[in-house]
């Protein structure tokens, strides 16, 4: 009978292990809060799917090494990770200085995410970034009050306008408060060991594919071009697909993030390739009187011959410079269009007030999209 385990002692030992597990879990939650603070300071999203996938991969291997069921251990860790994310969000909402909530289209490593990091990292109080699939989803989150600001790419010096952003800005309830310009440096990214001559398909955002058209035509004329929602997502798809014949056009930081190698650099057909971004809010921001401004306007013209010409003549007569003009189809009305204009000057200035008044007879609808400081192209 002396060889029979003492049940009570075993239960006491298990209770001690349970206490150790709970202490370890508490330390993990404390670390999760520290990570949340670091992410807010660095303008990084709270949720990092790539990091979570790598963690689960490591946990499965560690479980097998300890002769534990890797599937059950993974299930347990998914719960723990959800607890950590919930703890981080709880910390964010409890801070005395509320972090700025910013939405952008794409995933970490996309050009929009890079621009958000450049603009907001180091902000007192921190920044909580959220990536969405499309510009419309970003604007919808802003209109619902889920975020404080939206950062949207609007045009590129090589590929031109980004029409998804124009269509999203047509929705009421948001206003442009700033613009930024950033240089784009595309890389062709592939799996480790992949060769340029073996690439059969290239994934990227349609704009990036357009910007790299000359390179693709010269170096990979046989490659199939696969449009993606954003460049960072294209890099992620290549990593997840694990096919050495598939590459992505994205930033070098996206390649580093998803474990891809650079197969080619300098993909753009023109030197000095820049993308312009807009910062959008629910309310306008006051501007100093001496700041050089730009005013964005959307209008739908009367369907009469020569109306567009007469509208443009109004600008010339009032001495207002038209910096940009884009047209987009008017939903639900075939062969009708709404026009987006960037005018140099403040909406409250006498020349632009006169323009807005003089345009009224030629329009069926007109809306100011915002007045904001002008930004010049950086040297390069």
Total Cβ atoms within 10 A of residue 2: 3
User: 43 by DSSP, 3-state: which?
Assistant: coil
Q: Helix/strand/coil (H, E, C) string of 245-308?
A: CEEEEECHHHHHHCCCEEEECCCCCCCCCEEEEEEEECCCCCCCCCCCEEEEEEEEECCCCCHH
- Catalytic one of 132, 277, 339, 340: 277
User: 173 by DSSP, 3-state: which?
Assistant: coil
Contact 162, 106 (CB under 8 A): no
Question: Which residue shows structure tokens 């404080």?
Answer: 148
Q: Report residue 237 as tokens.
A: 């798809």
- For helices 307-318 and 350-359, the axis angle rounded to 10 degrees is 160
Give the integer Cα–Cα distance in Å for 125 and 167.
32
For the stretch 48-69, what's the b/e string if a residue is b when 16 or more beta carbons lie within 10 angstroms of its beta carbon? bebeeeeebeebbeebeeeeee
16: left (phi over 0), alpha (psi -120 to 50) or beta: alpha
Q: Which of 39, 42, 41, 20 is nearest to 31 (CA)?
A: 39
Is 277 annotated in the active site? yes
- Catalytic one of 175, 231, 275, 363: 275
Q: Helix/strand/coil (H, E, C) string of 304-353?
A: CCCHHHHHHHHHHHHCCCEEEEEEEECCCCCCCEEEEEEEECCCCCHHHH
Is 339 annotated in the active site? no
φ, ψ of residue 134 to 5 degrees: the values are -135, 160
Q: Which of 343, 246, 338 is nearest to 298 (CA)?
A: 338
Catalogue the active-site residues: 275, 277
């Amino acid at each position: 009978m002396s060889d029979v385990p003492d049940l009570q002692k075993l239960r006491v030992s298990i209770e001690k292990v349970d206490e150790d597990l709970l202490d370890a879990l508490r330390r993990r939650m404390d670390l999760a809060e520290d990570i949340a603070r670091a992410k807010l300071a660095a303008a990084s999203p709270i949720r990092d799917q790539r990091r979570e996938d790598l963690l689960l991969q490591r946990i499965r291997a560690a479980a097998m090494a300890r002769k534990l069921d890797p599937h059950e251990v993974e299930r347990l860790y998914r719960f723990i990770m959800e607890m950590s994310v919930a703890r981080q969000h709880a910390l964010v909402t409890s801070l005395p200085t509320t972090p700025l909530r910013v939405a952008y289209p794409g995933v970490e490593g996309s050009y929009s995410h890079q621009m958000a990091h450049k603009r907001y990292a180091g902000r007192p109080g921190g920044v909580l970034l959220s990536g969405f699939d499309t510009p419309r989803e970003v604007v919808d989150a802003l209109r619902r009050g889920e975020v404080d600001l939206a950062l949207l790419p609007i045009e590129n010096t090589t590929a031109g306008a980004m029409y998804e952003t124009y269509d999203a800005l047509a929705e009421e309830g948001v206003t442009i408060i700033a613009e930024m310009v950033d240089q784009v440096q595309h890389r062709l990214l592939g799996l480790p060991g992949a060769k340029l001559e073996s690439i059969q398909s290239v994934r990227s955002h349609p704009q990036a594919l357009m910007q790299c058209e000359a390179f693709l035509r010269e170096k990979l004329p046989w490659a199939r071009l696969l449009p993606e929602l954003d460049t960072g997502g294209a890099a992620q798809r290549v990593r997840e697909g694990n096919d050495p014949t598939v590459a992505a056009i994205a930033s070098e930081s996206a390649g580093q993030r998803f474990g891809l190698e650079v197969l080619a650099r300098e993909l753009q057909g023109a030197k000095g390739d820049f993308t312009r971004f807009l910062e959008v809010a629910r309310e306008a921001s006051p501007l100093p009187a001496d700041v050089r401004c730009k005013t964005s306007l959307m209008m739908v013209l009367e369907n009469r011959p020569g109306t567009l010409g007469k509208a443009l003549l109004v600008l010339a007569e009032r001495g207002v410079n038209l910096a940009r003009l884009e047209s987009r189809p008017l939903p639900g009305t075939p062969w009708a269009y709404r026009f987006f204009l960037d005018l140099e000057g403040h909406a409250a200035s006498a020349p632009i007030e006169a323009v807005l008044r003089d345009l009224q007879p030629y329009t069926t609808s007109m809306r100011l999209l915002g007045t904001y400081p002008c930004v010049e192209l950086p040297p390069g």
